[in-house]
């Protein structure tokens, strides 16, 4: 079992300026043994994480910055919105990140979902089937740009390039891993089966995760893909304290900063509890063959970042 840190907020870390705090935290989570660091690909904070006017940075600006101060941790957006960048340009950006990080880039990508953000920034918001079709086409174009000799010509259903040069190619061979994020069972998981090296689904309880794994396995059988080739990962919120009650109280206090507020206690909150509670949940996910658990810590709660690393992660070495 591997563990990652998903940077769902840019607040915290005392008096440090927000971007300096991001860089400091990247060093910290690598030193603590996390093996993945990701940023959301949004333009403002999501309502379940904080206020819209909270500090919020562009993922593909922040990633090279933290690449320069880390050595081992994988780096990705979780996940890139397919419509916010031309996919040929995205291929160039991730190839550049792969060189900046000495081969640690992962392309996390999804079909997009936040309609209000699309509208505010002037992006068209297609229907779900159109968004997922764009996702599948973009992944194929990116892989072509990475692996075929320049100049590259590609013509897909949504995107095309003609005599496009991408040099240097990524350091990783044959190319950086492509992680597709999302849990849509009819469309997105079919794209995972056809095109992804890794899959991530956010904020689902073990029962739901098991069901989606079964759906993914069915899609793999349909498209003649080896299910075991796909690395399965899951994202969960996390707050760790001495006791279950103290953890839920801390979660409720931290989540009160977000417009949507905390989830009710009778709903799944993720890895919220004592170290023993957290380890029990991770064990369930491991038994379902999740290969990485990524934690999103509300407002970068420092106690949770360290206690999860010190008291939970060693149980799965």
Section 134-161 average pLDDT: 97
Q: For the segment 73-83, what is each residue's pLDDT rounded down to a tens digit?
A: 999 999 999 99
Phi and psi at 194, nearest 5°, equal -85, -35
Number of domains in the chain: 1
Q: What count of other Cβ atoms lies within 10 Å of the Cβ of residue 71?
A: 10
Does the predicted model carry a pTM greater than 0.95? yes
Q: For the segment 96-113, what is each residue's pLDDT rounded down to a tens digit?
A: 999 999 999 999 999 999
Dist. CA 32–CA 21, nearest whole Å: 16
pLDDT higher than threshold 90 for residue 60: yes
CATH code, domain with 236:
3.20.20.30
Share of the chain above pLDDT 90, in %: 97
**Residue 262 token pair:** 């905390």
The pLDDT confidence band at residue 7, using thresholds 50, 70 and 90, is very high
Residue 75: which of 52, 45, 102, 115 has the closest Cα? 102
The pLDDT confidence band at residue 286, using thresholds 50, 70 and 90, is very high
**CB neighbour class for 146 (10 Å; exposed up to 12, middle 13-18, buried from 19):** buried
Section 14-33 average pLDDT: 92
pLDDT at 279: 98
Q: For the segment 226-279, what is each residue's pLDDT rounded down to a tens digit?
A: 999 999 999 999 999 999 999 999 999 999 989 999 999 999 999 999 999 999
pLDDT at 122: 97
Average pLDDT for the chain: 96
**Parent domain of 87:** 2-316
pLDDT at 317: 85
Residue 138: which of 190, 89, 73, 200 has the closest Cα? 89
Share of the chain above pLDDT 70, in %: 100
Could you tell me which residues come within 8 angstroms of residue 52 by beta carbon, excluding any fewer than 6 positions away? 44, 45, 259
Section 114-130 average pLDDT: 97
Q: What count of other Cβ atoms lies within 10 Å of the Cβ of residue 184?
A: 19
Q: For the segment 162-198, what is each residue's pLDDT rounded down to a tens digit?
A: 999 999 999 999 999 999 999 999 999 999 999 999 9
**Residue 50 token pair:** 């904080």
pLDDT at 16: 83
pLDDT at 257: 85
Q: What count of other Cβ atoms lies within 10 Å of the Cβ of residue 15?
A: 6
């Amino acid at each position: 079992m591997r563990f990652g840190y998903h940077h769902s907020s840019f607040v915290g870390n005392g008096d440090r300026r927000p971007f300096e705090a991001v860089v400091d935290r990247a060093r910290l989570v690598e030193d603590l043994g996390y093996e993945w660091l990701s940023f959301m690909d949004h333009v403002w904070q999501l309502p379940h994480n904080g206020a819209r006017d909270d500090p919020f940075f562009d993922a593909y600006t922040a990633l090279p910055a933290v690449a320069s101060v880390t050595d081992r941790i994988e780096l990705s957006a979780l996940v890139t919105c397919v419509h916010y960048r031309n996919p040929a340009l995205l291929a160039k950006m991730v190839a550049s990140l792969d060189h900046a990080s000495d081969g640690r880039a992962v392309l996390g990508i999804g079909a997009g979902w936040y309609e209000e953000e699309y509208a505010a920034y002037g992006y068209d918001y297609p229907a779900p089937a159109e968004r997922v079709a764009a996702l599948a086409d973009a992944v194929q174009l990116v892989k072509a740009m990475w692996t075929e000799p320049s100049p590259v010509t590609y013509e897909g259903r949504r995107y095309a390039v003609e005599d496009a040069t991408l040099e240097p190619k990524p350091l990783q061979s044959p190319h950086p891993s492509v992680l597709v994020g999302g849990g849509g069972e009819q469309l997105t998981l079919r794209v995972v089966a056809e095109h992804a090296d890794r899959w991530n689904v956010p904020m689902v309880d073990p029962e739901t995760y098991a069901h989606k794994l079964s759906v993914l396995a069915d899609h793999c059988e349909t498209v003649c893909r080896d299910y075991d080739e796909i690395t399965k990962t899951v994202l969960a919120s996390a707050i760790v304290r001495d006791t279950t009650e103290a953890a839920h109280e801390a979660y409720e206090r931290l989540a009160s900063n977000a417009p949507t507020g905390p989830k009710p206690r009778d709903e799944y909150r993720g890895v919220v509890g004592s170290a023993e509670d957290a380890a029990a949940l991770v064990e369930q996910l491991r038994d379902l063959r999740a290969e990485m658990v990524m934690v999103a810590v509300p407002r970068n709660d420092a106690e949770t970042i360290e206690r999860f690393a010190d008291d939970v992660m060693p149980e799965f070495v």
